[in-house]
Amino acid sequence: DHHVNYGSGSGLQDRVAFVQNDPSQYDASIRLADLQVSDTGTYQCRVKKNTVAVHEVIVTVQEKPATPQCWTEGELIEGSSILLRCYSR
């Protein structure tokens, strides 16, 4: 039907668009811009020509990890061992 149903209160209205200007030309792909963790969910593509075809895709958006904090344990002496520790939230 040449439109995207965004669901209620999803915040996707300004971030979702068809890849091609005219989805009736056999490409109803959509682009999700500026992904957010809250965009995680099941998305459904419903195409209707002579019949109706429905396909669901599960999208999982993971949060970008924080910059790791790293440090060494042990003395920096040639021939000895040290331990490099890193931690990230």
Q: What is the pLDDT of residue 9?
A: 58
Q: Examine the pLDDT at 8 and tell me if it is beyond 80.
A: no
Structural domain spans, the chain:
1-62
Q: For 37-84, what is each residue's pLDDT tens digit?
A: 888 988 888 887 788 888 899 999 998 888 999 999 988 888 889 999
Position 24 confidence tier, pLDDT thresholds 50, 70, 90: confident
pTM of the model: 0.58
Nearest Cα to Cα of residue 30 among 64, 11, 6, 61:
6
Q: Examine the pLDDT at 11 and tell me if it is beyond 70.
A: yes
**Beta partners for residue 55, in sequence order:** 45
Domain 1-62 is found in CATH 2.60.40.10: yes
Secondary-structure breakdown of the chain: helix, strand, coil percentages, each rounded to the nearest 5: 5, 35, 55
